[in-house]
Structure formats: C-alpha cells, structure tokens
C-alpha cells in the first residue's frame, strides 16, 4: 500500500491533518502532469502549470476527499479536475472572443492528444463525453493520457490493466473520437487521418 493510499485512508476516516499531509506528497506529480499538459497548449496561454495544479487541488479538496479510495482514484480525479478547468477556460475564451459562437473546424486540424485551439478542445471534450457514456474505461484512459500526460505504462498502472491492453484501448478510443467529432460537424470521417 502506497503512502498516498495510507493518507487517503486516514482522510476517509475523518482525520483533518491527513488532508494537509496529502498535498506535499502528491504536489510534485501533479505539477509534472500539469507542466506536461501546459507544454502542449496553444501559444499565448495565460494559465501556468502551478496555477492549474492549485486550481485542481482546490476542486479536489472541495469535492469531498473522503471519496478517494486509493492512489489510482486520486490521480484519476486530479486528471478529471485539470480537464474540466481547461475546458471551462476554453469556453470562457471562446465566449469572449466570438460571442459564444462556434467556428467550423476541419477535422484534419483536430489532433489527439494535443488540440491546437479552444474550438478543437471543445470538440474533443464533447466527443469524450459521448465516449465516457459508451466506454467509461476507455474514456478514462484518454483522460489520463490526453489531459494528465501519462505514459502508456503509467496510465495502465493507474487503470489496473496491462500496457498492451492500454494501447489497444487507445487505438479504439482515438478512432471512436475521430468518428464522433466528424458526426458533430456532419462531416465524413477522414481516411488515413493521423488521429
């Protein structure tokens, strides 16, 4: 049992000091995940990795830490919090920039795992929500790799699956997302797409 899991057990048991011990223990990993994600953001990004970690931590701490079962569950929650923060920021920027209107984006411009515009990020988000309804574990893999920047090995460990399984799920989920994005824009899915 990892130190993070032990502290999470103490948090679930209602120990107030345990939550204070958790942040220093996971901060470096959260900062690394945030830095990786932010390194792929479009130029002009005002959000810094440290701010992303702090905002995600505030959401995690406010969401009821007693619900985290183990290290895997905690980092999955952290990846989801970072994803939601980036989605909300993209929506706010689009609303301010274009009055909330969406712009048609050619599917070839949408890249996974790194969207280059707010519009593309929102397309991926909507498709990911649909994937989560149909295939929750595959959607979780996408979130861990796409938003948290985990390697196949780390994501497989978090999900409790083998690395080859993670790679198969990744291939399936990317194809699924590509098709879902094409449907959102009523475009035929591209052949030989890099996605």
Q: Which CATH number goes with the domain that contains 136?
A: 1.10.10.10
User: How many domains in the chain?
Assistant: 2
Give the contacts of 133 (CB within 8 A, at least 6 positions apart): none
Residue 168's pLDDT is: 93
**Residues 128, 70 share a domain:** no
Each residue's pLDDT tens digit, 128-175: 898 999 999 999 998 888 777 788 898 898 899 999 999 999 989 988
Check whether residue 93 and residue 131 sit in a common domain.
no
Claim to verify: residue 57 and residue 2 sit in the same structural domain: yes
Q: Residue 128's domain spans which residues?
A: 102-195
Out of 100, 122, 140, a domain closes at: 100
Q: Do 193 and 108 belong to one domain?
A: yes
| 137 and 90 belong to one structural domain | no
51 and 135, same domain (yes or no): no
> How far apart (Å, rounded) are the C-alpha atoms in residues 94 and 96?
5
| pLDDT band (50, 70, 90) for residue 107 | very low
Give per-residue pLDDT as tens, 110-138: 444 445 577 777 888 888 898 999 999 99
106 & 85 share domain: no
How high is the mean pLDDT of the chain?
76
CA-nearest of 119, 36, 130, 16 to 78 is 36
- The domain boundary, picked from 39, 65, 100, lies at 100
Beta strand spans in 76-185 (E): none
Does residue 14 share a domain with residue 43?
yes
Whether 150 and 171 have beta carbons less than 8 Å apart is answered as no
- Decide: 161 and 152 in contact? Cβ < 8 Å: no
User: pLDDT, tens digit, for every residue of 66-95?
Assistant: 567 777 888 888 888 888 888 888 788 777
């Amino acid at each position: 049992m990892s130190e993070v899991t032990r502290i999470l057990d103490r948090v679930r048991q209602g120990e107030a000091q345990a939550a204070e011990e958790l942040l220093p223990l996971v901060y470096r990993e959260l900062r690394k995940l945030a830095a990786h994600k932010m390194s792929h953001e479009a130029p002009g990004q005002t959000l810094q990795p440290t701010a992303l970690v702090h905002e995600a931590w505030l959401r995690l701490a406010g969401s009821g830490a007693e619900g985290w079962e183990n290290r895997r569950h905690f980092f999955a929650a952290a990846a989801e919090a970072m994803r939601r923060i980036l989605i909300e920021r993209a929506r706010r920027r689009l609303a301010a920039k274009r009055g909330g209107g969406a712009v048609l984006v050619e599917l070839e411009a949408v890249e996974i795992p790194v969207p280059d515009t707010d519009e593309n990020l929102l397309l991926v988000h909507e498709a990911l929500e649909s994937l989560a309804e149909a295939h929750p574990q595959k959607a979780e893999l996408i979130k861990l790799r796409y938003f948290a920047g985990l390697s196949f090995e780390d994501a497989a460990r978090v999900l409790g699956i083998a690395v080859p399984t993670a790679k198969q799920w990744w291939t399936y989920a990317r194809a699924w997302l590509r098709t879902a994005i094409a449907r959102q824009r009523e475009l035929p899915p591209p052949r030989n797409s890099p996605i």
